[in-house]
């Protein structure tokens, strides 16, 4: 059993389409991740002005990795 957990608040925001926003707390405090669900892989959408970086293919942002290597310990 894992005694480490991810603490986050999840909200939904509409910007042309619906975005799921995860606001992390605890050891991942300061990290905010936005996700959009598309119907097709090539579906067109506009990025909201508050999206600053594409991280879909960066495994550091996966929840399983945030448990073992929290955002607060990353070296920028």
For the segment 39-64, what is each residue's pLDDT rounded down to a tens digit?
998 899 999 999 999 998 999 999 99
Q: What is the CA radius of gyration of the chain?
A: 14
- Determine whether 51 is exposed, middle or buried from the number of CB atoms within 10 Å of its CB (0-12, 13-18, 19+): middle
| Cβ atoms < 10 Å from Cβ of 31 | 19
Q: What are phi and psi of 15, to 5 degrees?
A: -140, 95
For the segment 9-33, what is each residue's pLDDT rounded down to a tens digit?
999 999 999 999 999 999 999 999 9
CA distance 66 to 51: 20
pTM: 0.86
């Amino acid at each position: 059993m894992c005694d480490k957990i991810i603490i986050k608040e999840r909200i939904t925001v509409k910007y042309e389409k619906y975005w799921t926003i995860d606001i992390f707390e605890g050891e991942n405090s300061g990290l905010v991740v936005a996700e959009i669900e598309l119907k097709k892989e090539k579906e067109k959408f506009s990025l909201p002005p508050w999206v600053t970086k594409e991280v879909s293919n960066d495994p550091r942002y996966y929840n399983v990795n945030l448990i073992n290597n929290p955002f607060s310990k990353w070296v920028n």
